[in-house]
Amino acid sequence: NNLMNVGEKLTMTFDTPASNATFAVGNFSDGDIIAWKVYDAAGTVIDSGTIDHGFYDTNGVWVPLPNNENLNYSIDLAQNGLDAGLQFTSMSIEAASNSYKFTGFSVEKAITVEDQHYDFSVVGIDGDGDISNSASFGVTVDGTGSILTGTAADEVFTGGSGADTFLTGGGDDHIADYSLSQGDKVDITSVLNSLEGDHTRLGFSTTSDGKAVLEIYDNAAHDHMVSSVTFDNITDATDLNSLLGKVDIDHTT
């Protein structure tokens, strides 16, 4: 349920250094404290801080935020007074007091054609120091588009301009900006290869606000959906054939 309790820590590691990042939490209430740290390649802490549920006003009076607040917090080393060229390769956040939900994370990096590939991983560590969950993600840049690789978890893909390939790995994924005219492609091969038997089927549905959903079932009866892809910007598909006419699906097995 991604609830972080006291002593639990989430660590994110990147193969390419970054100088700023943003993370999001929910259920942030009075008394909650988040402790964060960023590390260089040697594992040395180069910056750290805490986030309280509130702030001091101009008169020095503590003003608590509303309970169950959703919070986006940005870490920028230059703005924190550190050298402009300083970068980190991993960061961690943990609950220093009470608990809250970790709801999202982003890291910014200018990717050039020469970079080719960018990987990062996320590891959850419980209060005893055991790894409770982990996932890895990757983006490949070839100059004309990107290859975005997902995992068995739920992802939100944004390809941007160019011909992008979205490699879904399972879970219930979202594609924010699919464009057939730009040459975008959705590759569900990994999901199909993970299933046994020859009765896998594709299905179709829409969300409550009309977004098209590609469903993947592991049997002919369509009663066990194992994965889905929601196209956030496709709202005019009426059935599976209609959707397949708007989306390039690669399912080579």
- Residue 172 placed within a domain: yes
163 and 101 assigned to the same domain: no
- Residue 131 placed within a domain: no
Whichever domain contains 67, its CATH number is 2.60.120
Q: Provide the pLDDT confidence category of residue 224 given band limits of 50, 70 and 90.
A: confident
241 or 105: whose pLDDT is higher? 241
- Residue 121 placed within a domain: no
214 or 130: whose pLDDT is higher? 214
- Residue 8 placed within a domain: yes
Q: Is the pLDDT of residue 111 over 70?
A: no
Query: What DSSP letter does each residue of the chain carry, written as one string?
Result: --EEPBT-EEEEEEEEEESEEEEEEEEE-TT-EEEEEEE-TTS-EEEEEEEESEEE-TTS-EEEPPTTEEEEEEEETTTTTS-TT--EEEEEEEEEES-EEEEEEEE-----GGG-EEEEEEEEE-TTS-EEEEEEEEEEE-SS-EEEE--SS--EE---SS--EEE--SEEEEESS--TTTT-EEE-HHHHHTS-SS--EEEEEE-TT--EEEEEESSTTS--EEEEEEETT-----SHHHHHTTS-EE---
Least confident of 92-96, 136-140, 217-221: 136-140
pTM listed for this prediction: 0.53
Q: What percent of the chain lies above the pLDDT cut of 90?
A: 17
Total structural domains within the chain: 2
User: What is the domain extent for residue 52?
Assistant: 3-110
- Residue 103 placed within a domain: yes
